[in-house]
């Protein structure tokens, strides 16, 4: 479940959703959970690139993963989508604006 309880958290959620690959991941996972190789093939992207996008979505709790062992003994990482909905309007932005943390360019480079 997405918890938007600060301005910085709102920015992280918006950032996670601001990439076409991540939106496609959400669209595919909205139908059913998938294991990484299956998801990469369906989206036509490499697994390393997919993992980078999945990490962003996991950080804001849009997706989650579980490891399972197949019948052949192979470890398989499955991703599932958490149902989410949030309303963004001027009241929410006003409420959370006091919690925004502004970082300098050097601080951003260290993150």
The answer to whether position 44 is within a domain reads yes
pTM over 0.85: no
Q: How many structural domains are present in the chain?
A: 1
The answer to whether position 66 is within a domain reads yes
The answer to whether position 108 is within a domain reads no
Confidence at residue 89, expressed as pLDDT on a 0 to 100 scale: 87
Q: Is the pLDDT of residue 110 over 90?
A: no
**Can you give the residue range of the structural domain that contains 75?**
7-98
CA distance 56 to 11: 12
Q: Among 55, 18, 23, 17, which Cα is nearest to 36's?
A: 55
At 65, which CATH number? 1.10.10.10
The answer to whether position 89 is within a domain reads yes
Confidence at residue 108, expressed as pLDDT on a 0 to 100 scale: 57
97-103 mean pLDDT? 82
* Residue range 37-95, pLDDT digits in tens: 999 999 999 999 999 999 999 999 999 999 999 889 999 999 999 998 888 889 988 98
The answer to whether position 104 is within a domain reads no
Q: Among 65, 69, 73, 25, which Cα is nearest to 45's?
A: 25
Q: How confident is the model at residue 5 (pLDDT cuts 50, 70, 90)?
A: confident
The answer to whether position 63 is within a domain reads yes
* Helices 36-43 and 47-59, axial angle in degrees (round to 10): 110
Q: Among 9, 67, 76, which Cα is nearest to 37's?
A: 76
Confidence at residue 101, expressed as pLDDT on a 0 to 100 scale: 82
């Amino acid at each position: 479940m997405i918890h938007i309880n600060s301005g910085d958290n709102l920015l992280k959620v918006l950032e996670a959703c601001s990439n076409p690959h991540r939106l496609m991941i959400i669209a595919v996972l909205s139908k059913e959970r998938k294991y990484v190789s299956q998801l990469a093939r369906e989206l036509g992207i490499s697994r390393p690139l997919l993992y980078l996008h999945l990490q962003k979505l996991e950080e804001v709790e849009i997706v989650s993963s579980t490891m399972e062992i197949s019948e052949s003994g192979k470890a398989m990482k499955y991703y599932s989508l958490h149902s989410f909905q949030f309303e963004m309007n001027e009241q929410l932005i006003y409420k959370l604006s006091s919690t925004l943390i502004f970082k300098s360019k050097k601080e951003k480079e260290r993150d």
